[in-house]
Structure formats: structure tokens, C-alpha cells
Chains A and B, each alone.
Chain A
Amino acid sequence: MDFQLSADQLALQEMARDFFAGNGGIAGARAVLAGDGELPDVSADLRKLGLLGLLAESGDEAGTVLDLAVVAEQAGRTLTPTPLAGTAARAVPLLRDVATPPAAELLGRILDGAVRVAVADVREVELSADGTVSGVTGPAPGGTIAGTLIMPAWRADGAALVSVQVSSHAVAASRPALDPTRELATFELTSAPATVLATGEAATAAWERARDIAVVVLAAEDLGTTGECVRRAVEYAKDRTAFGRRIGSFQAVKHALVDAYVAEEQLRSLVWLAAWSADADPRNLPLYASAAAAYAAGAAERAAETLIQVHGGIGFTWEHDAHLFWRRAKVDRALLGDVHEHRARVARLQLAGVSA
């Protein structure tokens, strides 16, 4: 039994904390919401730090999903928009695992910084005999800044994994953002030329595994967001005075903060387990990933709502940063599957083990 971060992971955590502290997303999120600014772009830095391609290697050289989760937690504290969940945790292991020549070529260009990708969940995208795709994608994180989309598409003989260049045939629907830092976009595809990256069962297995890794890394970001909401709310409660006392001394306030903190610690345990299992116990990754995601949805939402509530009226203003955390929590609770889908999956996987 050794359920803790290693010395190397603690060093990585510190490095990531310092990096994201200097590249926070809050000011950018505010500017985008107001329509007069841009988000910070840390893609190139993350690539140079080796974090974008952490899961690109296999064998002894490979970084682990837990390493990536450690970094993602720190990104979640500052709401920095990153390609961690969409690219580092999803596109990279997906393309590595399918390992076909076009996938390897695309992976190489991602790691060179030549292209930005977004991975989209889709319900109905059709791959025609002429090699084009048509349909509508689901919301893809990083979609607003992507040059290439990766998605599954269906043709007569089954599903294929394809890449599509964003173009006049693959257009991001223009909509206001609830949380600008997720850079979400859905795409309308109209006979868009597609490259088939892989087909068959191996492609499906790689798709599902990469999606679960992304679910874990998203939950790790939510862990950081939860922790930062708790930290900010506690700081305010230590400082603000009412009725002649600091408000954190009132049990009604104190207990709300403790509830949020307990959820943070429980979530940390689940995120570590899920991230660890991705490499060490992959058979259980779907179960543990969904457990972490379902828990993260509630923990982040509770922490963000507590952050607003503890601040009183000021917490509800446009000027205060609390709503930026709240926006992240509300979007993440439905991203890559909502809490009900993840719970249903946990129930299904658990009950499948019981003989009827």
C-alpha cells in the first residue's frame, strides 16, 4: 500500500503550480466574456515543458496519467485554458494507441506544434463513399482554436476514426460561451473531406480508453477548481467581520466550508485512484473514471456555490471572480458525460459482476 504522490510527482506539482500561477486564466476569461480580449495561450509552453506529449511515448520513457492529473489539478486552480484534457489526455494517447501511419503523422504534427486539434464526441456523423463527412459534432473542448478535428464517423461497414480540417465545410457554430476558458465549439460538417485514421475494434478500444483518460484529467482539473474555491472562501471567511465577529467563526459558515473541503478530499482520493488505474489496472479504468467524474461534478459545483454564498452580495457580482469558478463548475459537470451518465455506468459495471 502506497497511496500517495511520489517525490517526483510532488516536484512536478510544484513546477506546475508555479507555471500556472504566472499564466492564470481569470483575467482572460473576464475579457472574453466582456468581448474585449483574449485568453492566454499556454500550448507552446506546455509543449516545451514536455507536458503536451507526456503520454506520447510507450514503455519506460512514458509519463503516466497520474503525472498528467497532477499537472491538471494545478491548471484547474487558475482556470487556465489548456490543451490538457482535450489533447494531452485524449488526442495523444488515442493517436498513439491506434498507431496507423496517418495517426502517427498527425501525432507528430501535434507534438511539433504544427497543428492544434480538438476531439469531438458525435452522435450522427456519416462517412460517405467519396471520403467526406457530414453531420453535427458534440461540444469539443478547444474547438474554438482548433485547426483539425478528430471524431468517429459511421459508414455502411461500421465506425471509423477520422480527422477533418476546420474549413468552410467544417464550421464552428457561433455561440456565446458560458465558460470561455473551455473554448467549446460544436461543428457543422457539410461534405467535409476526411482522413480515415483507423477502423475496427482496435480503433474503438483506443477511442474508449482515451476518452476515459480525458474524463480522469478533467476530474483532476475539477479537483483543482474545487480546492481553489475552498481556499478563497476560507480566506474571505477569516477576514470578513459581521455582528462583531469574523464570519468563519459562525458554525453555519464554518460547516458549509468544511462540507466543501470534505468533498475536495474525497474527490482527491477518487482522482488518484482513477489516474493510477489507467496505467496500473486498466481493466477498472472505466469504473474508476466514471466514479471520479460523477463525484467531481458535485464537488466542484458545491465548492463554487459555497464560494459565492460565503462572499454574500459581492460574490454575486460581475466584478468578483467567484462566478468564473461557478461557470467552470457548471460546464464541467456536463462535459464528457454528465453525473447521471457516469453514475449509470458505475451501476452497470458493478452489477455486471453479480450473477443474476
Chain B
Amino acid sequence: MDIEDSAEGAAFRGEVRAFVSARRDELSIGRGAAPERVPDLRRAQALLHSAGLVGVTWPVEYGGRGGTPVQKVIVEQELDRAEVPRLIGWIGVGMCGPAIMAHGTEEQKRRYLTPMLNADEVWCQLFSEPGAGSDLAALSTRAVRDGDGWRISGQKVWTTGAQWCDYGILLARTDPSKPKHRGLTMFLLDMRAPGLTVRPLREMTGAAVFNEVFLDDVPVPDSARLGEIDGGWAVALTVLMNERYSVGGDGTVYGAGPDALTRAVADALPGLGTDRRAEILQEYAACWIEGLACRMTGNRMLTALSEGREPGPEGSAGKLASSALLKRAADLGLCLQGDDALFGASAAGDGTWQGIATFAPGISLAGGTTEVMKNILGERVLGLPPEPRLDKAAAATGGKER
């Protein structure tokens, strides 16, 4: 057992740190995506890609570095450390790209993967619908044959970044007569296609990163089909599995990690009375310990990946723990603001923890709700019996009989 960098790992970390530090002005440009920030965020991703720091594990022929999972994590840690915001193209790089690599044609891989990495083209994921969230396979967006191609109609929702994205992967129903998991097909969608309308949804944070996407007879060529006709569920599982690997951690990526908490506690302590201080220290330690556990559970997952094994259940366990931790850390961060916590920001205009607190509830929903994750863990890992299901064998109704 060893949790420290190998000699090569340490050398690589040094290189990454030197690059990120030298280009700090272009990279450490504040968290949070918004339309007016997109050009800067695209430039930052392109700069990172030029240094081989995006798509670290992807093959060189598709624009990646051809590196190891350990190098990928080192890059993520160093970007977190330097407070570099999340890639504008994180959904493409984290989820769409791996799905294209696993299920795409050679032509699709050559066309889409490199621009995805250098942020020439930013991608989103069009899965959830008003009637199909946790129960994704109940979706009702239809794709019907139209000559050599397809026409897609329906509505998607919770589509992160749709308003600034160039492409998306979209799951649609191609055969409603089949049971619901079996009549689905995945498509690569040009977000500028005719018949497609994007309407931003404002979240409780006040920002609008989510969108509704309306599809009215949108034409899609058959060359933009990803995987087999009616074989879309397998592709979706690849995407969702990668989503679960990429969501988690100790909160650092959201600015609410153990180091941020330590700084906030150290700043607040001198102003607190003895009893209050003891209380705050207990809660701070509990959060710090949970964050350490999330990080170390992540290290177990990383060890499996670096040996070419599929991660075990610790991945899902870590995601559950980390989404609960984020809410707890955000609460503590707010508590430390004293009377300022009753307002949207301090008198000096600092609303950092208010922002984190309004963001945190979404993390228990994104990438699989807490409840669905617990069902998956309970059934696949602990071997508990599933809930009785009424919908698995029946033909899909597209959710219209609800």
C-alpha cells in the first residue's frame, strides 16, 4: 500500500503544477459557467488541451494524451488546487466522449473527439424529460425513420449548458412496441439543427445553467446514430457509469473542500465564544473526516482503474457520501458567516458560501438521485430484492398514460 506519488507521478505533478502556475491568469478565472463567460472558459480549456491536460487518458490519435488514470487524477488535483474552474466541456469530455469511444464508428471518433477536447465544440447530454428523470427509460421523445435519416420530436429537460453547446448526445425512442429499455436509440445531435429550441431554466442559485430543449421534427442523418438501432440503453449505461465516476470527491471542485473549510473556520474562530467554538470545531472535524474518507475511497477506485480493473461498489458509496457531505459543509460554511448568513452576501459583497449552499441540493439529484443510487447499491451490491415492477416487460407507452 502506498498513497503517495510514484517517482514518475511526482515528476508529472511538478510539470502540471508549473504549467498551471505559469498560466494562472488565463486558467484561474473563477467558478461558475454563464453565457458571458463561455468564450474565456473555452480559451482556458483549449490552453489546457494544448498542454496535454484534457483527455489525459484518451488515445493520442483522437487528441488525447495517451496517459494513465493516475495522471488524469493528478491533473484534476492540480487544477482543483489552483482553483481552476471546471472545464466548459466537462460533460463531453467526461461522458459523451467515452460513449463515442465505446460505441461510435471510426468516422464518428475522428470527426468529434478532438474538437470536444480542445473546446472548439462543446457537448451536452439530452437524456431527462419532464416525464422521465430517475426512471429514464420511460422517456417519450420519438425518433422516426425519414428516408435515409431520422426525424426527432419531443422535449428534454435539465440539459446542462445547452444554450452554449454545439452538439449533444440524445436518447430517443425508436420502437414503442418493445419493452421500455429495448426500444431506445442514441443520436449525436447538432444543436443548431432546424426545429430545435433551447429555453434556459433558472436554478435556485439564480443562475441558468440548465435548459429545456424542444425538438420539433428535427432532422438527423443516420450517420449521427451512436450504436445500434434500439440499442441505446447500453450506450446510456456507458454514459451514466462515467457520470458516476466523475461526480463525487470531497467538495474541493465546488470550492467547499476541506481546505476551504479549514480557512473559513480559522477566519471565524477568533470572533466566537468558547461554547460556540467547541460546537463549530466538532462539526468542522466531522466534515473534514468525511472529506478525507471520500478522498481515500476515491483512491481505492483509482487503484482499481490504474490496474485496468472496473472500480467496485466503492464508487457509488463515495458518490452518496460526497453529496451528503457537500450539503453539510455548505451549512457549516454559512454558519461561520454569523449574521451575514441571513443575507445573500456580506456587506463587502462576499456571497461565496451562500452560493455553495444554494448549489449543494442539486448535487443529490444530478447524476442519479440519492434514492436511485441507494436502490442500485442495495440491489446490485448488497443483493437485496428489487421493488416489484409493473413496467419492465410491458410495451413502452412513452409515459403518456400517467
Decide whether A and B are members of one complex.
yes
Cα of A354 to Cα of B383 in the assembled complex, Å: 45
Chain A residue at minimal CB-CB distance from B379: A254
- Residue in A3, A66, A295 whose beta carbon sits within 8 Å of that of B300 in the complex: A3
Give Cα distance in the complex from A257 to B382, angstroms. 9
Residues of B within 8 A of A234 (CB): 382-384
Q: Are B282 and A344 in contact (CB under 8 A)?
A: yes
Q: How far is the CB of B139 from chain A (nearest CB, A)?
A: 23
Known: A4-B303, A255-B374. A291 touches B289 (CB 8 A): yes
Q: Does B61 contact A (CB under 8 A)?
A: no
Residues on B with beta carbons closer than 8 Å to the beta carbon of A276: 1-3
**Are A246 and B1 within 8 A (Cβ)?**
no
Q: Are the CB atoms of B285 and A343 closer together than 8 Å?
A: yes
Which residues on B sit within 8 Å (CB–CB) of A342? 285
Q: Are A2 and B378 interface neighbours, CB within 8 A?
A: no
Contact A251 B300 (CB under 8 A): no
**Segment at the B interface, from A87-95, A191-199, A259-267:** A259-267
- B314 and A251 within 8 A (CB): no
Number of A-B contacts (CB under 8 A): 163
Give B330 Cβ to nearest chain A Cβ, in Å.
19
Give chain A nearest CB distance to B296 CB in angstroms.
4
Would you list which residues of chain B between 1 and 50 have a CB under 8 Å from chain A? 1-6, 9
Q: Given A2-B1, A4-B303, does the pair A265, B297 have CB atoms closer than 8 Å? A: yes
Interface residues of chain A: helix, strand, loop or mixed (majority): helix
Q: Is there an interface contact between B374 and A251, defined as CB atoms closer than 8 Å? A: yes
- Determine whether the beta carbon of B371 is less than 8 Å from that of A255: yes
Closest Cβ of chain B: how far from A223's Cβ, in Å?
Answer: 12
- A280 interfacial contact with B, CB 8 Å: yes
Q: Are A251 and B293 in contact (CB under 8 A)?
A: no
Does residue A258 face the partner (Cβ distance < 8 Å to B)?
yes
A129 within 8 A of B: no
B interface, by DSSP: helix, strand, loop or mixed?
helix
- Residue among B286, B293, B318 with the highest chain A CB neighbour number at 10 A: B293
Instruction: Report the minimal beta-carbon distance from B277 to chain A, rounded to whole angstroms.
Output: 10
Residues of A230-251 contacting chain B, CB below 8 A: 230, 234, 237-238, 245-246, 248-251
Contact B384 A257, beta carbon cutoff 8 Å: yes
A69 to chain B, nearest CB (A): 11
Is B276's CB within 8 Å of the partner chain A?
Answer: no
Instruction: Give residues 255-295 of A contacting B (CB, 8 Å).
Output: 255, 257-259, 261-262, 265-267, 269-270, 272-273, 276, 280, 288, 291, 294-295
Among A3, A262, A344, point to the contact of B299 (Cβ < 8 A).
A3
Whole-angstrom distance between the Cβ of B94 and the nearest chain A Cβ: 20
User: Smallest Cβ distance from B213 to chain A, in angstroms?
Assistant: 31
| Residue ID in chain A nearest B298 by CB atoms | A269
Q: How far is the CA of A249 from the CA of B314 in the complex (A)?
A: 22
Closest residue of chain B to A239 (Cβ to Cβ) is B385
Contact (Cβ within 8 A) A262 B320:
yes
Contact of A238 with B281 in the complex, beta carbons under 8 Å: no
20 contacts between A and B (CB under 8 A): A1-B6, A1-B70, A1-B303, A3-B299, A237-B384, A238-B384, A251-B375, A258-B320, A259-B374, A261-B382, A265-B313, A269-B293, A269-B300, A270-B289, A276-B1, A280-B1, A288-B292, A347-B288, A351-B262, A356-B270
- A residues neighboring B (CB under 8 Å): 1-6, 66, 230, 234, 237-238, 245-246, 248-251, 254-255, 257-259, 261-262, 265-267, 269-270, 272-273, 276, 280, 288, 291, 294-295, 340, 342-344, 346-348, 350-351, 353-354, 356
Q: Which 5 residue pairs are nearest across A and B when measured between Cβ atoms?
A: A269-B296, A343-B285, A248-B384, A266-B293, A254-B378
